[in-house]
Chains A and B, each alone.
Chain A
Amino acid sequence: MSNVIEVKNLTKSYKEIKALNDLSFEVTEGEILGLLGPNGSGKSTTINCILSLLKYDEGSITVFGKDMKPDSYDIKAKLGVVFQDVAVFDELTVYENIDYFCGLYIKDKATRKKYVEEAIDLVSLSEFKKFYPKKLSGGLLRRLNIACGIAHKPKLIFLDEPTVAVDPQSRNSILEGIMKLRDMGATIVYTTHYMEEVEMICDRVIIIDKGHVLASGTTDELKRLAKIDEKIIVEANSFDSKYIEEIKSFKAVHSADYKERVLTVSYKEGADNLVKIIEYLKKNHIKYSRVYSERPTLNDVFLELTGKELRD
């Protein structure tokens, strides 16, 4: 598989702030690459640099093996972009908006009509074809935004947090749509700070913070970085600190934290941990409302790597 995008040592400063700092990564053909990072980590800046919308200080960017420039129309013809902010015409209907943006790529009317209809189906907006964007709810608007960016069947698609404000049900249908696009042969760069989405759809993930790559790999590879294997969550209205200290000394326990009525116990490896905790709670007559076990998430990886939470 060849590399569709190669970003090397990309550095970009805005007036006051260094947004990208020696950022390098590749995107391989046919994959969904997740760019995961907290607010302000430089995800959108990276995309805008790749698209040649932003000037950058140092580094190089190639797309489809060629230098990306503002007048690389042959490359641009194969791109589809869904920007973070909704970009549609208030004066055009759902159908017209998609047709307009699709028409910037596809000349043939019959093909365009077909593509527009397919895009509408993909984001399930068929009932709203004649609606003006002002009449759409936030989530429907997001879906229109996506359709406008991908209707022309691009080979390489950038999706910058496309599911913000979308309800879980539509989010799932969007994510499925995105996987469908990949299965039809598109390469996808997907930015988000929802790790659940990343875990669900991304073939490979790059975690960035402060404009720099912290780690990359498949979700499983990354999770191994977290050094924890299992988490036990205990929801209890109060928890004496002497018990916490005692739990910390259990075998294989990595850490134990009581915050906002939730005790989180992380284990380096997991076997019978849940049973042991429940027994301990019973023995000490500690009242709790719920106790359950969790697999580590990318958030834990992020926590491990940076000492802070992925989402504030």
Chain B
Amino acid sequence: MFVHNFKYSLKALFRNKTLIFWTLMFPIILGTFFKMAFSNVTSSEAFKAINFAVVEDDNFKNDEVFVTVIKELSDEDGDNRIFDTTYVENEDEAKELLVDGKIDGYLVMPDKKDDTPGVTFINNGINQTIIKNVVEEIALNEKIGNEIGETIVKDEMAKGNFNIDIDGIYEKVMEKMSDETNLLDKSANKLDYSMIEFYTLIAMTCIYGGMLSIASINNSLANISQKGKRVSVAPTRKLVTVLSSLLASYVIQLVGLALLFVYTIFALNIDYGDNIAKVILLGAVGSLAGLAMGLFVGTVFKAGENAKTGILIAITMFFCNFAGMFGITMKYITDTKMPWLTKINPVGLITDGLYALYYYNTTDRFSADIINLIILTLVLTAVSFFSIRRRRYDSI
């Protein structure tokens, strides 16, 4: 029965032109538009160094990592130029520059080493987001560096070398850091913020897959459709029909996602980083979240199939917006001002996961995203199953 229902669900879904358009074609078309839009931007205005200021107080001077990296990133002759950095004595000077519009933002190092460095700016724009990302990046790399540093110190001590050569360790740390992290070679010319847009596109596609589960669930429930009534009077367990049709929609979702990955990687040259296995895992889990979203919309809202699809599209676009599909600034604002929204925004979580995979070599952030996605999926599925479980209705 499972196989029978699965086969026919698959057939019915594949032949549904509207569904196939939204889940398979639309993302590819949108991706193509993105590429056209962004290739114009990048070719017309090559990346210009961002005007930036650093308050060069003792806190800053004592933070060798920041001093070195910012110097490197501001080097006019280097390949890694992001910043055109002015070093100022105190925060007031920096503020003045900022107010006069001479700089886009400035950095003040905190008193305590573990606190996050303070970045200040007036407007929210792409430059500001980059400043913020780079500073976060450096801080994170520094933390990794410190940890590596500690282990090296311990190793040295274990070997009986009590006479520690700080410079040597620093060198090693720096060396290891550039091995282990991507910061230095992913900055400047490679820090392509349009990448985020493509990541949201992948995320959107995962959630759009929910349209397929809306259609599947519609066909299985007596209180939703006539077909559901017919299926419900058959001697088949509801769980079997529901799960087999959901599996069918998941398969199509994955096909759509695979097509999009192939298209964006080979035709649009989008870089998802080196960890393809994890990218695939994220896509699979993200699609599951989309499936659950569809299940939720399909069972909780009382409306026709088209209305439900509309609702799902609206919700997805809302989430896409906060995930940075229409401007990366939105992602930054959401991340800082509404972190709760980021946690429940499946599009945001998938986007962030892809971003984390690309930029970081650690998997903390990626794992957190995956776990949040799984929690979200489970919650939505549980709520939906509450409604699916009912077998006799007050009214149909």
Contacts and interface: CB of A to CB of B under 8 A. Distances in A.
A74 interface: yes
A54 B392 contact: yes
B323 interface: no
A83 B393 contact: no
B12 A92 contact: yes
Nearest to B228: A87
A88 B229 CA distance: 11
B178 interface: no
A101 B235 CA distance: 11
A293 interface: no
A168 interface: no
A92 B9 CA distance: 10
Contacts of A15: 394-395
B219 A149 contact: no
Given A53-B229, A55-B392, A86-B226, A92 B11 contact: yes
Contact of A53 (B15, B222, B237): B222
A196 B396 CA distance: 29
A88 B233 contact: no
Interface in B1-16: 1, 4-5, 8, 11-13, 15-16
A64 interface: no
Contacts of B15: 91-92
A71 B392 CA distance: 10
A62 interface: no
A131 interface: no
A44 to B, nearest CB: 9
A86 B230 CA distance: 10
A91 B392 CA distance: 28
Contacts of A148: 230
Contact of B4 (A52, A83, A103, A149): A103
Most chain A CB inside 10 Å of its own CB: which residue of B1, B230, B391? B230
B304 to A, nearest CB: 14
- Main SS class of interface, A: loop
B227 interface: yes
Interface string A87-101: 111111000100011
B234 interface: yes
B227 A91 contact: no
Contacts of B5: 104
B395 to A, nearest CB: 6
A96 B395 CA distance: 30
B235 A77 contact: yes
Contacts of A25: none
Given A92-B12, A96-B11, A104-B235, A52 B391 contact: yes
A77 B225 CA distance: 21
Contacts of A53: 222, 229, 232-233, 392-393, 396
B389 to A, nearest CB: 11
B222 A87 contact: no
B12 A89 contact: yes
A42 to B, nearest CB: 13
Contacts of B230: 81, 83, 87, 101, 148-149
A14 interface: yes
B233 A76 contact: yes
Contacts of A87: 225-227, 229-230
Contact of B226 (A52, A83, A104): A83
B50 interface: no
B235 A105 contact: yes
A73 B392 contact: no
A181 interface: no
Interface in B315-361: none
B270 interface: no
A14 B394 CA distance: 7
B235 A91 contact: no
Contacts, number: 85
A55 B394 contact: yes
B392 A101 contact: no
- A interface residue count range (under 10 / 10 to 19 / 20 to 34 / 35 or more): 20 to 34
B396 A48 contact: yes
Given A86-B226, A96-B11, A101 B234 contact: yes
Contacts of A103: 1, 4, 8
A245 interface: no
B8 A92 contact: yes
A85 interface: yes
Contacts of B237: 73
A52 B225 CA distance: 16
Contact of A54 (B11, B16, B227, B396): B396
Interface in B230-253: 230-237
A89 B231 CA distance: 12
B364 to A, nearest CB: 45
Given A54-B394, A55-B393, A70-B392, A89 B227 contact: yes
A51 interface: yes
B233 A79 contact: yes
Most chain A CB inside 10 Å of its own CB: which residue of B237, B392, B396? B392
Nearest to A87: B226
B12 A74 contact: no
A9 to B, nearest CB: 18
Contacts of B229: 53, 81, 83, 87
A146 to B, nearest CB: 12
Nearest to B17: A91
Nearest to B16: A91
Given A54-B392, A88-B227, 16 more contacts: A48-B396, A52-B391, A53-B232, A53-B392, A54-B394, A76-B234, A77-B235, A87-B225, A89-B8, A89-B219, A89-B227, A91-B12, A100-B8, A103-B1, A104-B231, A148-B230
Q: Please name the 4 residue pairs, one residue from A and one from B, whose CB atoms are nearest each other, closest first.
A: A87-B226, A70-B391, A104-B234, A91-B15
Interface of A: 14-15, 48, 51-55, 70-71, 73-74, 76-77, 79, 81, 83, 85-92, 96, 100-101, 103-105, 107, 148-149
29 contacts: A14-B395, A53-B229, A53-B393, A53-B396, A54-B393, A71-B391, A73-B236, A73-B237, A76-B235, A79-B233, A81-B229, A81-B230, A81-B233, A83-B230, A86-B226, A87-B225, A88-B227, A89-B12, A90-B16, A91-B12, A91-B13, A91-B15, A92-B8, A92-B11, A100-B8, A103-B4, A104-B4, A104-B234, A107-B1
